[in-house]
A and B are shown apart, each in its own frame.
Chain A
Amino acid sequence: MAQFKHPQILIASNLTDGEVVFLGASGWERDHRRARVARSAEEAAALEASGKRDICANRVVDVYLADVEIGGDGAPTPMHYRERMRVKGPSVRLDLGKQAAGGAP
């Protein structure tokens, strides 16, 4: 198992529409702020196991863990700029993606 360095969330793409989703407390969420945060290697493994089950259940594809930092409000924000892009939408079209719907700061 890879060394656990940072809190993590589980990211995927919704099968039917391709939208980026995040594993939350009670299923897949479209807002990363509602993602369940793994704070240990064991919790991260549990997230991954849930993701694998939902791949098999044909709910999501392209599932992986992403490192996050936790803000003052307790919400996770991806640490890498690629995933920060994914929680918002294209930086050149602020009218599109999650950022347009007010789903991401």
Chain B
Amino acid sequence: MTAHDPEAMRRPNAPTTTYLYDDYDAAFVRERVAEFREQVRRRLSGALTEEEFRPFRLMNGLYLQLHAYMLRVAIPYGTLTARQMRRLADIADKWDKGYGHFTTRQNLQYNWPKLVDTPDILEALADVEMHAIQTSGNCIRNVTADHFAGVAQDEIEDPRPTAEFLRQWSSLHPEFSFLPRKFKIAVTGAEHDRAAIMVHDVGLRIVRNDSGEIGYQVVAGGGLGRSPFVGKVVGDFVPRHDLLAFLEAIMRVYNRFGRRDNKYKARIKILVHEKGIDDIRAEVEAEFAAMDRSVFAHDPEEFERIAGFLAPPPYESLARDSQMLRAAKLETPAFANFADVNVSAHKIPGYAIVTVSLKPIGGVPGDATSDQMRALADASERFGFGELRVSHEQNIILPHVKQDDLFALWRMLDAAGLATANAGLVSDIISCPGMDYCSLATARSIPIAQAISKRFADMSRQRRIGKLGIKISGCINACGHHHVGAIGILGLEKKGQESYQITLGGDPTFSASIGEILGPGVTAEQVPDVIEHLVDFYLAEREEGEAFIDTWRRIGHARFKDVLRREGEDGADI
């Protein structure tokens, strides 16, 4: 349902802000499901070996993990309708184990699907205009975007039309379906980076030049994994009409020069690092100059058509500040905490952006039960034009809530176990599934997140600490973005035991930096103690208004290392 559906528009709070498949899209996704159904049939019959079948299942997001298959469903730029969220819940109940895991790529993973059921699951997804295509493999993956897109006060332009444009360009792109390695793109249109564009293969920042023209600053060669790099600017201002051609040129350069002899050196970040950004820029500019750009010329009509789907919903004219909100905060301290921590300013007067934390104290970061998914769908329809977002921080965003409705929404969320007031705080931890689910993992990450969360369970203490990003990965592939955590934790194997390496000083924003290793690895049991010592030291050292990363930058890494060394000498087992 969209603004283009008159039936839908008659409903109050009906979904309005989503891309709607056209006949081509719908037919393509249906054909793909039918194709995969046949591939599964041939696999089960023995006509295809596992070696032959594996690329097909991966192209449809189906992995084989530690305990079962895992299906990764694409959520383009993290935007979902209530109807889609309900379908995700129904799939979790019918074919999985009643829950799903929201990922750092704004996607959703089911941990227990059966191979034989997967075609039916994909069919159910296609019914609501969803799929799992290009959520795996050496192709351009789900394009991510700022989860506050379209509603942030600091935004130049909603990045989602660009992201959708790129999705259409990159979907089954014949030249880029077998790249040297996977390729991840993120887009932001805001002055503050909430999409971590500096650590993507390509990051796009929507900017305006001196003459007021909209364009893109293009960053390439960022990435995490075993060799983390902050991206470098390859195009300072690429006008919109050149964007696709410019990206095409980058992809061609990567496809031509990217290493295929060693998968660990195959990402574009290695190419940029080894050749240098000046060489890469020269190659891209040469390719751009030589190519037939007419094929990739910007189609403003199509861009506007896409932008129309993602247009703002029909907001009411409201006062800037809600008296009801003020009164409810005074009456109910728990709600006041939620409103202070999980509610962000909206560009439209009288509205608010709500972050629904999927990080209850001691919970599994990013997990939501099917009942919680339905509660979120209901909440979005009742209070937010039926739209939801998934953040790369593994939370759910309700982007259009009237301030007057915040208290009623909070009560609804609270009843569903979704009102933890910790967005951005120390217990709002990003964590990959780690060895509890993932076959690549070298250690568990979820129990570490749970232990830290419990250690800092006192919410007033969390608020005193303030914004602090802890990010945990269960292996060097860094799905938990540990390199860019103010405090990063990496799970490794050391002499047959799980061991955790801690880094400090990571930053995923425009001022991006890669965390520095604190010292030798520690055991799982020691991690909460170490984190607590670091936080206490920060609290003792911080100056007015300083976040953890600011203090770390001001006083230096060595001081943090020293405090741990001293604590160790005093008897703490660190």
Contacts and interface: CB of A to CB of B under 8 A. Distances in A.
Interface of A: 13, 15-20, 55, 57-58, 61-62, 79-82, 85-86, 89-93, 96-97
B324 interface: no
B46 A58 contact: yes
Interface string B275-301: 000000000000000000000000000
B435 interface: yes
B64 interface: yes
A82 B64 contact: no
11 contacts: A13-B68, A16-B115, A18-B115, A58-B43, A58-B44, A58-B46, A79-B496, A82-B435, A90-B67, A90-B436, A92-B364
Given A15-B44, A18-B115, A92-B450, A61 B68 contact: no
B67 A91 contact: no
Interface in B111-168: 111-116
Contact of A81 (B64, B112, B116, B498): B498
Q: Which 3 A-B pairs have the closest CB atoms?
A: A18-B69, A90-B436, A18-B68
Residue from A16, A57, A89, A92 with most neighbouring chain B CB atoms (10 Å): A92
Nearest to B439: A62
Contacts of A20: 66-67
Given A16-B44, A18-B68, A58-B43, A85 B436 contact: yes
Contacts of A81: 435, 496-498
Contacts of A61: 50, 64
Contacts of B50: 15, 55, 61
A92 B111 CA distance: 13
Contacts of A19: 67-68
Nearest to B53: A61
Contacts of A80: 496
Contact of B114 (A18, A91, A92): A18
Contacts of A86: 66-67
A15 B40 CA distance: 11
Given A55-B50, A86-B67, 4 more contacts: A19-B67, A61-B64, A81-B497, A90-B446
Nearest to A95: B97
A13 B67 CA distance: 8
Contacts of B444: 91-92
A90 B115 contact: no
Contact of A91 (B43, B111, B113, B436): B436
A90 B99 CA distance: 14
Contacts of B364: 92-93
A89 B46 CA distance: 29
B114 A90 contact: no
Contacts of A57: 46
A91 B66 contact: no
Contacts of B349: none
B447 A92 contact: yes
Contacts of A89: 67
A13 B68 CA distance: 8
B66 A85 contact: yes
A15 B113 CA distance: 12
B56 interface: no
A91 B498 CA distance: 14
Nearest to A17: B114
A62 B115 CA distance: 14
B115 A97 contact: no
A57 B45 CA distance: 10
B100 to A, nearest CB: 13
A87 B69 CA distance: 16
Contacts of A90: 67, 111, 436-437, 446
B494 to A, nearest CB: 12
A67 B497 CA distance: 15
B39 to A, nearest CB: 14
Contacts of B67: 18-20, 86, 89-90, 97
B116 A16 contact: yes
